[in-house]
Chains A and B, each alone.
Chain A
């Protein structure tokens, strides 16, 4: 989006209040969605819940192709369509809802830095696992990604996506990494998040911010998704304050919607 277009969108957005019929689009949750997409969708859902903005979750097999950026999730609000957490946070802010307004400049810098840490390490590790680990690719990623399409389109699209992701991994120097090195990175990232959180309820004490939504989206997804090995979730499970952080957000923001089966894989046992 160009600067002028962005300014225009912001102006329009500010003029209208949050409508009743706002919708969030994401891939089918039972048979299609992948680890990284699920994390992104959950992060946006958590963010909107924290802002107390009602949104109806719509599951579409072609959500990826409906999204303006080619990435899920996206929200449809009034006559606006906005995709991914960063732009959605901007959009919602233009409508007068913000979670990070109370932070000072240094805290805002810190929040942005930790959000980049999550994107740089956790998200990349999820992409690595689902597109570069051969066993996962064969057993989980290809069947799920191709599930809505007939043969041979299912294979063609899955291989196309795989090629795209592997090219990206190569460009950022992850192409030659082993799975163990990736797990080490994940561990380092979780350790940093755990240290930063300490004993506080949220990353910036009493009130959640978009960082809390993003971390929750990724960690909860890693913890509750059945993969061929549980090495990834074991890494997260060794940090007890991160587990209780996920539980806290699940209870506080998703409990009321317990009927919604998105959250069937509950942490509360």
Chain B
């Protein structure tokens, strides 16, 4: 218990502590349960892990995947769910499954598959946090993995084209947002006055959709029509992450660093052109297949 726990995460922007849903889930749970996590934001150096982020390291134990990290934290006595009844624990599991099945595909699509969003926001942003020449390869790989996941889980005979699959996953995601909104109602958190695991998951999945400024924002528009979910995200950001924004980020980002990052983002945007020419026709072929 005394050993320090270090969490490697993709960093934040647009007022978020992290732009990555899974990282955000773990960071939020850490705050809710009071676990003393030392957050290492991934920068463009070689030593940072990138394969399975978020990654928790405690002594010689290395854990990836949010659900496993949360389990580990619970075993270390950092439990945000002490006050839940057995039935509420069951509800937590069910709503997390709902998020996974209905909202996650649309979130992946918004970040990694939607062409405009990917080339103007996601790829430059992640590219600037990955060392060259890996920055040319890794975002494309992450994008292909996201597309593959969407195709094998949601594709199938009734939906023959990517456009039909897209329509379906966004319909599912909007329904999911509506269900979450009716479940939350006017409560401050899903199970009353204190945040729990479910709040961490919902926050992690919703906040990036709510805050990241993409050119194509159909899900964000829908989310903004559900004021209680927006209020839920804003409350968690202001109550649990305000210290983070004023405390840690200025130290990690002096003006030179910020300028350098902007430059790297710019270079990455240029390199998109090359990728578009060489890789995109190939991707289209795969999709049509």
User: Which A residues are closer than 8 A to B by beta carbons?
Assistant: 1-3, 68-71, 105-106, 108-110, 112-114, 116-117, 119-121, 167-168, 171-173, 188-189, 191-193, 195-196, 198
Choose from A2, A117, A171, A173 the contact partner of B65 (Cβ within 8 Å). Answer: A173
B285 at the interface (CB under 8 A from A): no
Q: Is the CB–CB distance between A120 and B101 below 8 Å?
A: yes
- Nearest 10 CB-CB pairs, A to B? A192-B90, A105-B182, A109-B179, A113-B94, A117-B97, A120-B97, A195-B90, A113-B98, A70-B157, A117-B94
Contacts of B153 in A (CB 8 A): 168, 171-172
Which of under 10, 10 to 19, 20 to 34, or 35 or more describes the interface residues of B?
Answer: 20 to 34
Q: Say yes or no for B95: interface residue by CB 8 A criterion.
A: yes
* A191 and B90 within 8 A (CB): yes
Residue from A2, A69, A110, A117 within 8 A of B164 (CB atoms):
A2
CB-CB under 8 A from B156, the residues of chain A are 69-71
The secondary-structure label for the interface of chain A is: helix
Looking at the assembled complex, report how far the CB atom of A117 sits from the nearest CB atom of chain B, in whole angstroms: 4
Q: Which of B164-184 contact A (CB under 8 A)?
A: 164, 167, 175, 179-180, 182-183
What's the least CB distance linking A1 to chain B, in Å?
6
> Any chain A CB within 8 A of the CB of B158?
yes
**Is B102 interfacial (CB 8 A cutoff)?**
yes
A109 near B180: Cβ-Cβ < 8 Å? yes
Instruction: Mark interface residues in B82-114 (1 if CB within 8 Å of A CB, else 0).
Output: 000011011101110110111000000000000
- Other than the known A109-B180, A112-B98, what 7 A-B pairs have Cβ atoms closer than 8 Å? A2-B164, A113-B94, A116-B101, A117-B93, A120-B97, A120-B101, A167-B152
Q: A3-B167, A70-B156 are in contact. Are A192 and B93 (CB under 8 A)?
A: yes
B4 within 8 A of A: no
Let me know if B87 and A196 touch, CB within 8 A: yes
In the complex, the chain A residue whose C-beta lies closest to that of B52 is A173
- Is B185 at the interface (CB under 8 A from chain A)? yes
Please give the distance in Å from A203's CB to the nearest CB on chain B.
11
CB closest residue in chain A, given B175: A112
Question: Are B90 and A116 interface neighbours, CB within 8 A?
Answer: no
